[in-house]
């Protein structure tokens, strides 16, 4: 492989998101499939072997580059689930074992030549790269909840009763109107039977309009309360599931996120610039320049 191509691939490897940005000819959808073919898994292992070999060339000059590459290797095997049990061929098993020994030796050698603060920064970078998708989804969820008018989505209120299907008194008023007509038909005309029936129907209609209007307003209010609860519950579930997956956020931020969304959003939006700053300081000036 030409040196320029190897360096380009190595730079892509150091900067990519995991798992979706991992650079391999095999589509990532195949790599993440439970039925990943052995040939694709071998391709993954061979590429990791080449990348670790290339990382070793930085061990004496920029050991933090080698350390990032080693930590990223471990993250790749987690993001694209790869374990010894995945290999049935003895040759593949021995190759995987040798690869892991190479990774361990590189990580230990690189760690021994950098200070602990640098090592933690490198590990932080790989964590941010591995959680790029979770950070994006959590940011969208929190922004959506704030745009909907929620300052916090916890505590979740008790669910209101489901709204009534509609005004319940309409059949009774219809029956009352019919009863007025029947009674008016029974009363002799010279006593004004149908006139009284007409009066009864009009009075019944007026009362019905007032009662049914109140009932309809109550049903609409119940429906609005229930809809508001469902919206609240939806944002609560969405924010809870998305924020809790962002391990790059401090525990206290994740714990308090649902009570106060604004600081959580500020913390989430600070993560991509933090990643860019680490990459600009530790990778870009030394690889592919």
14/71 Cα distance (integer angstroms): 10
Number of helices and strands in the chain (H, E):
11, 0
What is the DSSP secondary structure assignment for residue 26, as one 8-state letter? S
C-alpha count within 13 angstroms, C-beta hemisphere, residue 136: 6
φ and ψ at 25, to 5 degrees?
Answer: -65, -35
Can you give the pLDDT at residue 127? 95
Going by C-alpha positions, the residue among 99, 75, 87 that lies closest to residue 40 is 87
Within 10 angstroms of residue 270's Cβ, the number of other Cβ atoms is 11
pTM beyond 0.85: the answer is: no
Q: Is 92 exposed, middle or buried (0-12, 13-18, 19+ CB in 10 A)?
A: middle
Can you give the pLDDT at residue 1? 46
Going by C-alpha positions, the residue among 195, 173, 68, 85 that lies closest to residue 124 is 68
Can you give the pLDDT at residue 82? 84
The low-confidence residues of the chain, meaning pLDDT below 70, are 1-3, 26-38, 162-205, 207-213, 215-219, 222, 288-289
């Amino acid at each position: 492989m030409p040196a320029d191509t190897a360096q380009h691939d190595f730079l892509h490897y150091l900067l990519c998101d995991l798992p979706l940005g991992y650079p391999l000819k095999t589509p990532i959808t195949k790599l993440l499939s439970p039925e990943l073919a052995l040939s694709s898994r071998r391709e993954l292992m061979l590429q990791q072997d080449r990348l670790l070999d290339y990382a070793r060339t930085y061990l004496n000059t920029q050991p933090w580059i080698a350390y990032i590459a080693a930590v990223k290797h471990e993250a790749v095997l987690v993001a694209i689930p790869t374990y010894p049990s995945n290999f049935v061929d003895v040759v593949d098993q021995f190759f995987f074992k040798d690869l892991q020994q190479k990774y361990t030796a590189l990580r230990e050698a690189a760690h021994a030549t950098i200070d602990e603060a640098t090592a933690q920064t490198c590990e932080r970078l790989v964590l941010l790269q591995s959680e790029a998708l979770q950070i994006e989804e959590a940011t969208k969820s929190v922004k959506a909840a704030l745009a909907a008018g929620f300052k916090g989505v916890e505590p979740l209120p008790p669910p209101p009763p489901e709204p009534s299907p509609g005004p319940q008194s309409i059949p009774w008023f219809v029956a009352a109107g019919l009863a007025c007509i029947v009674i008016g038909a029974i009363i002799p005309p010279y006593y004004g039977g149908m006139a009284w029936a007409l009066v009864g129907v009009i009075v019944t209609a007026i009362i019905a309009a007032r009662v049914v209007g109140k009932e309809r307003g109550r049903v609409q209010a119940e429906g609005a309360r229930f809809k508001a609860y469902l919206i609240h519950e939806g944002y609560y579930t969405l924010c809870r599931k998305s924020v809790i997956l962002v391990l790059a956020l401090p525990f206290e931020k994740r714990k308090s996120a649902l009570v106060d969304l604004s600081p959580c959003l500020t913390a989430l939006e600070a993560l991509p610039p933090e990643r860019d700053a680490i990459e600009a300081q530790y990778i870009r000036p030394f690889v592919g320049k």
